[in-house]
Structure 1
């Protein structure tokens, strides 16, 4: 029986995660991309492992890899988005906060996605309806919660010195610090953590449409019932772009008010 898209996404993400784990702590050649961005040999090898899995199972689909670009026959209208190592700077500094992202787009919908944590041996996955984390072969449904009060803020946006860069302004706002606790994980694993109840929210600027980094995490959060919008509260991938994903409406409303410089409602009201 052919592998389902969900299982293929999980298998591909796990193949990439195995490479990331095996290369951890070794001497890694760097490939400079410009603007301070770079890839390592682990990024390239992990992406190749993922591509091998996807191309063997779905040779007619398009595959877009962060490092290798667009490839595949492209006759089905389906596109796999592959981020082999999200958190390369963390990894190169021997940090373990990284993710391996694999998502399948069919038209405008993400119909399968997986986000693997190579070092916790967890894979967060969705088939567009169910959303779970798989650990030791067991799937556990994800339930968002704002209980941690931890909000991850992406400071790796294209131009953090731009006056319009609101993520930076957010964490400097004393009202934000009174209500939430900022975190900067520097990997989209933190987006999956919102779906899992390990983060109350995630905020970033930037254009995220068809992003190899963000598509998996966004799909997980949408399937889990999180509140997912652009940075102005607009429909995702429109207007100013960006992302505010929150475990619940109250958290989302509070973050939008802070981002817009508006007064805050009291928690629980």
Structure 2
């Protein structure tokens, strides 16, 4: 879990990390305020949908970013890409990660905001609307402020809290596995098979929350690991913020083949330490061997 090792200061006013925190908390304010209201769904096809909370939260975040950084490009999950295609600086916005959870009254959701500068994520924040926690990184360190929204009321006051250093830990033995299809690496790897892999259950306890809030939890010691299938997720609105947090916190972050992101076959393993990472890679490979791959 996180320790009480504090940075002593919030992200500095006017900086990209401070903007990421403020934007994520602005989205979280809206997600929280609309909870319990009738859920209207905007169909996106293939069983996916957005709610009024997704749309309103994204609009608030994008408006903040455009006002503060008018020359930057923005990619929102709901509104798509704006700004120059080859912009050096691009903000990635996932206004409500866990929409199906939210629509069903499950409050395990997150608001993700990340800044990609070239091929790096240089600032990011993940806000948990219903705990008030906000996780953030300036690209070098990773931090968490507990109950930030509850303590400071609104995103406008987001700069007033002390942040603790995020400290990864394998101690919980909890590993979140994203079970949502499709499984692009099947039959070699299917996330649904991982909890049954030899050695997995002897060491870990699987969890499924279906939100990338779980990636931030790896950075802060609330989870030992996280595993999902997929392609290159570094520039994903869903995953960029969590990946940046984990990397800055000192987690081991690779593709599902154990190779560094960008050179891997895709997917994501975020592990609290090298030992946990090795065990997860071996569990994945044991499943591949059982499949005859």
**TM-score (norm. length: structure 2):** 0.86
Deviation at 1:175, TM superposition (A): 2.1
Which whole-Å CA distance do the structure 2 matches of 1:64 and 1:3 have between them? 21
Task: Indicate conservation of the 8 Å contact 1:62/1:72, yes or no.
Answer: yes
Which whole-Å CA distance do the structure 1 matches of 2:198 and 2:266 have between them? 25
**Does 2:96 correspond to 1:81?**
no
Residue 132 of structure 1 aligns to a residue whose secondary structure is strand
1:192 corresponds to which of 216, 233, 239: 216
1:177 corresponds to: 201
1:108 corresponds to: 119
Which whole-Å CA distance do the structure 2 matches of 1:37 and 1:229 have between them? 27
1:134 corresponds to which of 120, 145, 154: 145
Deviation at 1:174, TM superposition (A): 4.6
Which whole-Å CA distance do the structure 2 matches of 1:157 and 1:115 have between them? 24
1:265 corresponds to: none
Root-mean-square deviation over aligned CA pairs: 1.8
1:204 corresponds to which of 224, 228, 239: 228
Structure 2 unpaired stretches of 5+ = 1-11, 152-160, 288-293
2:131 corresponds to: 120
Task: Indicate conservation of the 8 Å contact 1:91/1:97, yes or no.
Answer: yes
2:105 corresponds to which of 94, 110, 130: 94
Deviation at 1:164, TM superposition (A): 3.6
Task: Indicate conservation of the 8 Å contact 1:104/1:113, yes or no.
Answer: yes
Q: 1:140-180: per-residue Cα shift (whole Å, max 9, x none)?
A: 11100000000000012424894344311111225211110
Which whole-Å CA distance do the structure 1 matches of 2:243 and 2:184 have between them? 22
**Does 2:80 correspond to 1:69?**
yes
Which whole-Å CA distance do the structure 2 matches of 1:76 and 1:240 have between them? 26
Task: Indicate conservation of the 8 Å contact 2:125/2:134, yes or no.
Answer: yes
Greater relative contact order structure (CA < 8 Å, 6+ sep): 2
2:158 corresponds to: none
Quickly say closer, same or farther: Cα 1:132–1:2, change in 2 above 3 A.
closer
Which whole-Å CA distance do the structure 1 matches of 2:13 and 2:201 have between them? 50
Deviation at 1:129, TM superposition (A): 1.2
Residue 216 of structure 1 aligns to a residue whose secondary structure is helix
Which whole-Å CA distance do the structure 1 matches of 2:122 and 2:169 have between them? 24
Residue 199 of structure 2 aligns to a residue whose secondary structure is helix
**Does 2:174 correspond to 1:163?**
no
Residue 21 of structure 2 aligns to a residue whose secondary structure is helix
**Does 2:242 correspond to 1:226?**
no
Q: 1:34-69: per-residue Cα shift (whole Å, max 9, x none)?
A: 111111111000000100110000011000000000
Deviation at 1:122, TM superposition (A): 1.0
Task: Indicate conservation of the 8 Å contact 2:218/2:270, yes or no.
Answer: yes
Residue 199 of structure 1 aligns to a residue whose secondary structure is coil
1:53 corresponds to: 64
Which whole-Å CA distance do the structure 1 matches of 2:37 and 2:93 have between them? 23
Structure 1 unpaired stretches of 5+ = 263-269
